[in-house]
Amino acid sequence: MAQVKHDKVREERITMEIIVDAYDEIERALGWYYYLEEKLEFPFKAKCIASRQTSPLTKGETVKVVGMPPEKECEREMFVNVRWQKRTIAVPLSQLAAHKVDEETQEAIEDWHYWVNQGRQF
């Protein structure tokens, strides 16, 4: 994903709400996990915006996002559970764009995309 322009408001939210008091990778990952778990209003529809070798989704495919996987699954990157071919699987949130969601859900997803597009890791 391409790097995006610096956003002061988003940076402040990430620093003061999401990764505040996080001193290592696991704490930053947990900060993101609990932020997303609280802000995302499930279920919602999302479209795959990028294919990944680690995911079976193809670009343009629409899925129903149904929740968050266990926090252990999100120690390296944020995943969400989706319904796909009659089962529930976890896919990278950075691979999805939400469709017709509430403002809080949209903002949280955009926060994660911003973080990833800035080249940041935990």
What residue ranges define each of the domains in the chain, with the CATH number in brackets?
Answer: 8-117 (2.30.30.530)
Q: What is the pLDDT of residue 52?
A: 93
| pTM (predicted TM-score) | 0.93
Residue 93: how many other CB atoms lie within 10 Å: 23
Q: Taking Cα atoms as reference points, which of 51, 55, 90 lies closest to residue 74?
A: 90
Q: Dump the DSSP string for 50-95.
A: S--TT----TT-EEEEEE---GGGGSSS-EEEEEETTEEEEEEGGG
Q: Are 42 and 64 in contact (CB under 8 A)?
A: no
pLDDT band at 32 (very low <50, low <70, confident <90, very high): very high
